[in-house]
Amino acid sequence: MTTTTVDAEQLRGRVGELLAAHDPAKTDRLEFLQARFDAGLAWVHFPVGLGGLDAPRALQSIVETELAAAGAPDNNPRRIGIGLGMAAPTVLAFGTDEQRKRFLRPLWTGEEVWCQLFSEPGAGSDLAALGTRAVRDGSGGPPANEGVAGGGDWVVTGQKVWTSVAHIARFAILVTRTDPDVPKHQGMTYFICDMEAPGVDVRPLRQITGEAEFNEVFLTDVRIPDAHRLGKVGEGWKVAQTTLMNERVAIGGHEIPREGGLLGKVTQTWREHPELRTPELQDRLLKQWVEVESLRLASGRLRQQMAVGAPGPEGSALKLAFSEINQALSGLEIELMGEEGLRYDDWTLRRPELVDFTGRGPGYRYLRAKGNSIEGGTSEVLRNIIAERVLGLPSEPRVDKDVAWKDLPR
């Protein structure tokens, strides 16, 4: 792997070269994004040839600032957040050279949207209990290799649920059960699933907001080549941990300005409705302001930590705090609006591509925030992770730890 020692000034020079060769005002958006990736300016901490320069992650902000000032297009990161925040780090960590070259570029440019096939009707909080089966196809082709992705196919059957953007996704990161005769955290294998493959059926799930942002996905004899396996056979839980840790940082570790995001909406409502202010509401608003500021500063520290390594279990604390703060703020906003806060007329069934907490109304924010404590790991599970893996407290008793998955009650 090529290693570079790019400093801030050299990075600005590379940005200048990109802009000189591809004027954003005259260059097609996709063409510009592809050129940016090829110049190593997509995510500078990635390897050379894979959208990066092997540079410190902290230098990425220089690229973003310089390109934004030049009016360059971005890759619509909110739309492709699952790919950027979850699939890409996993492919980088466990993918073969061929997989990295095939998937990372169109993932980053947004040409291919990704979704996440993890949760199941009987395996949500306890993801390791999942039962979607992947069985080797013994008919034709070389056998699948236990270590390196190679020949042969797998046949996958099962059901996944709560799958965001599955209705527009081209690929999915998928965890399956490949060996039911070992304990549940073993015998799992991780794949890249083609969402356009025969046997993949995506159905909308209507939510409390009235729209269908989530989906349930049925997999019926879906053939996945072994070349689309990430990690070793039976080590899917290990691979999934990389995805989950990055997911929690992606959800709870967004960089926002002071008094930005949902807090900005609430403080705006406070200023616009002086007649509804009470000492009790003022105390609650000030408490939330302090908690949001604490989360903002903690997120900054976590991003500094990530600049020198992969995210750890500490990201669970950010995601937990984000969920609770979002729900408290959206509830406070409704109260500040008085009777108007009870109005909700956005019941049209839509298939949105992203969650929008600041561009929609307060009723939407209040209802949609209820899902924050479930998606990306329930708050109860995150508290266990923080207790055991961050604070070092004793683990909860697990009577199924050494029991084969097939013998677990369901």
- Find the length of the chain: 410
**pLDDT, tens digit (0-9, with 9 covering 90-100), for 100-109:** 999 999 999 9
Domain locations along the chain:
17-74, 84-236, 242-390
Return the closest-CA partner of residue 210 out of 376, 54, 404, 364.
Answer: 364
The interaxial angle of helices 315-336 and 261-272, nearest 10 deg, is: 20
The position carrying tokens 């570029």 is: 105
* Those residues with Cβ within 8 angstroms of residue 270's Cβ, 6 or more apart along the chain or in another chain: 277, 285, 336
pLDDT at 149: 62
Q: What percent of the chain has pLDDT over 90?
A: 57
Query: When comparing pLDDT for 301 and 409, which is higher?
Result: 409
Query: When comparing pLDDT for 203 and 209, which is higher?
Result: 203
Q: Is it the case that residue 140 has pLDDT exceeding 60?
A: no
Q: Is it the case that residue 198 has pLDDT exceeding 50?
A: yes
**Sign of the four-CA dihedral 382, 383, 384, 390:** positive
Is residue 123 within 8 A of residue 178, CB to CB? The reply is no
Question: In angstroms, what is the C-alpha Rg of the chain?
Answer: 23
pLDDT at 141: 46
Domain spanning 84-236, CATH class: mainly beta
Across-strand partners of 315? Answer: none
Distance CA 208, CA 36 (A): 40
CATH fold of the domain at 242-390: Butyryl-CoA Dehydrogenase, subunit A; domain 3 (1.20.140)
Return the closest-CA partner of residue 116 out of 155, 77, 158, 86.
Answer: 86
Tokens representing 183? 């304990």
Full DSSP string of 160-184:
E-S-TTTTT-SEEEEEEES-TTSBT
**pLDDT, tens digit (0-9, with 9 covering 90-100), for 171-196:** 999 999 999 999 999 999 999 999 99
Distance CA 198, CA 191 (A): 16
Return the closest-CA partner of residue 15 out of 55, 96, 93, 70.
Answer: 70
CA atoms within 13 A on the CB side of 315: 26
Active site residues: 247
pTM of the model: 0.86
